[in-house]
Copies of this chain bind each other. A is one copy, B any other.
Amino acid sequence: MSTSLIVRRDLDFLLHDWLKIESLAAQQRHADLTRESVDAMLDLSEKLAREHFLTHYKRADVEEPRLDADGVHICPEVTQALRQYAEVGLFSAGFSPDLGGSGLPYLLTSASFAYFAAANVATSGYAMLTVANARLIVSFGSSAQIETFARPQIDGRWFGTMCLSEPQAGSSLGDVRTRAEPAGADELGERYRLTGNKMWISGGDQDASENIVHLVLAKVPGADGRLPEGTAGLSLFIVPKILPDGSRNDVGVAGLNHKMGYRGTANCLLNFGEHGGAIGWRVGQPGLGLMQMFQMMNEARIGVGLGAAALGYRGHRLSVTYARERLQGRAIGVRTGAPVPLIEHADVKRMLLAQKAYAEGALALCLYCAKLVDEEGNAGSAELLGLLTPVAKTWPSEYGLAANDIAIQIHGGYGYTRDFDVEQLLRDNRLNPIHEGTTGIQAIDLLGRKILRDSGRGMAELGRRMIDTTARSQGVPEFAPHAAALKRAVTQINDSLAPLRQQVANAAFDNATPFLWAFGHVVVAWLWLEQAVAARSLDVKTTDERTFIDGKLRACRYFFECELPKIDAWLGVVASRTDVASGAPPEIF
């Protein structure tokens, strides 16, 4: 039997037994949702991911996109896979029927996407960006813009990009210098001529889609011809590669970035307006570009986390297969007889259990957040989603990567070769702590915008849900120590925050990253307890089912025994308000 991309029983457990996806059918827009429709979607996704995405995982890593006078050429299997993805309606799955979609909840399209990211994150990247781009136009664009630029993406005929960064403006978008000069208006809205350079543009050019829709953050100069400072002057523009009249827009590929991983995704430096200005249409009101981007950011960030979780998950499954098959060594002290499978060794089991806790914990976190997206109308859900988004972005990025690192270790020397997938999984996953906001940026977002400067509703909602979990776990003796540990951890988090609430703004952020680490571990511990409670409440009909439940319970126990205690060291740093790093004079380095 081949190795699972994502274990279907696990996904069924998360969606049905734990998150009760069918409860979303109570919402008018998801009235058609049934167990059967969910099953069909997952069946389709798994099959397509395995047959059309996994198959060129290695090849697209080796045969990188290349640039010639005609533009960027990508591996033909990537194009073929994305055509299949369009054909079965996966670009449109999450859009409402009036836009040609199937109106599936975000939770379900996320579960579907996990298969594709596990199989081939670089090829899936084109789809993720296209869907995000179309969703942004649907949210903020005019009907003409939606019809012209979003619909072909929803159909999967055109692909989309997000053009935010510039060579000199990565995390600091206020420093964007791309310039948009007003140039009249037409049925597509206010027209502009754009000039500037955009860096790190995934899918910036390729030969897979009929057209490419770039969403570009740029600034409109003031009366004095100067660009406004900071992020307030940013507006959002639609800049297609090919204009509606069929002519080429003034968008050039200055070069391809050659990356450590994610190599199947063409990543470009784009030049806008080298020949007079690229034509673009403004989306929504001027000056709201970053706000519009941020409204979409929750989903993009959960998408990054989900991709990272899927990569970690696949590394775990490959490790399990390898550890069952590879014979090496014997029990300690035994020197003769046949060698045993790796999976018999205590230290290998420790590594597999850590991977399981990381990969399944990360997937659970991302799907939990995806369900919050579907619940955004509910009181508290939106605030909780805001609070958990930096965690959903970073925790899977850091611990999915850790799971990939362990996968190499379990495979030993073989894992270090390119004959196995695990080294590529690590290279691919290494991008995730960087893009869509680095871990350090997420830490400031969590501590600043989502906690210290927030009304407190996100934290209050989290607290309520945690209390609910511990209440449901209290009847079960084996969960009592976990529930107690979770309560203690929440108290520690709150205690470490207390002095920060009084402290001057900047120093409060000195140890934002250790705070994020601790906060992330507490959230994941809570979700492991959630999973354990859900698993414990299942009817046990078969041995397989018993084993599945045992696995969930053991991973939960591992997390509480071996992982949660790590927060003491991190919160100790936060509580001490040490300036050992922030106060270091730069010249000591």
Contact = CB atoms under 8 A, between A and B. Distances in A.
A370 B344 CA distance: 36
Interface stretch (A92-100, A146-154, A570-578): A570-578
Interface string A355-394: 0100000000000000000000000000000000000000
Nearest to A169: B328
Contact of A260 (B165, B339, B416): B416
Contacts of A566: 566, 569
A329 B585 CA distance: 18
B588 A551 contact: yes
Contact of A346 (B351, B415, B582): B582
A565 interface: yes
Contacts of A433: 409
A541 interface: no
A335 interface: yes
A485 B200 CA distance: 46
A430 B440 CA distance: 24
Interface string A306-332: 000000000000001001100111111
A434 B351 CA distance: 14
A452 B231 CA distance: 61
A390 B408 CA distance: 20
Contact of A581 (B229, B431, B558): B558
A444 B333 CA distance: 11
A259 B258 CA distance: 18
Contact of A512 (B347, B418, B505): B347
Count of this chain's copies in the oligomeric assembly: 2
Interface in A409-438: 409, 412-413, 415-419, 423, 426-427, 430-431, 433-435, 438
Contacts of A448: 332
B586 A353 contact: no
Contacts of A417: 257-260
A76 interface: no
Contacts of A259: 416-418
A182 interface: no
Interface stretch (A12-20, A125-133, A171-179, A203-211): A171-179
A229 B335 contact: yes
A546 to B, nearest CB: 10
A581 B413 contact: no
Nearest to A170: B412
Interface in A538-589: 547, 550-551, 554, 557-558, 561-562, 565-566, 568-569, 572-573, 576, 578, 580-582, 584-589
B589 A320 contact: yes
A334 B176 CA distance: 16
Contacts of A588: 547, 550-551, 554
A355 B148 CA distance: 50
A415 B427 CA distance: 12
A346 to B, nearest CB: 4
B347 A584 contact: no
Closest 10 CB pairs of A and B: A551-B588, A350-B581, A346-B582, A347-B440, A565-B569, A260-B423, A172-B329, A343-B586, A230-B335, A320-B589
Given A260-B423, A347-B440, A562-B573, 16 more contacts: A165-B413, A170-B413, A171-B328, A175-B339, A258-B419, A259-B418, A260-B416, A320-B589, A346-B509, A347-B512, A350-B511, A351-B440, A409-B433, A413-B434, A416-B434, A561-B573
10 contacts: A168-B327, A257-B413, A344-B586, A347-B513, A350-B511, A351-B440, A426-B430, A547-B588, A562-B573, A568-B568
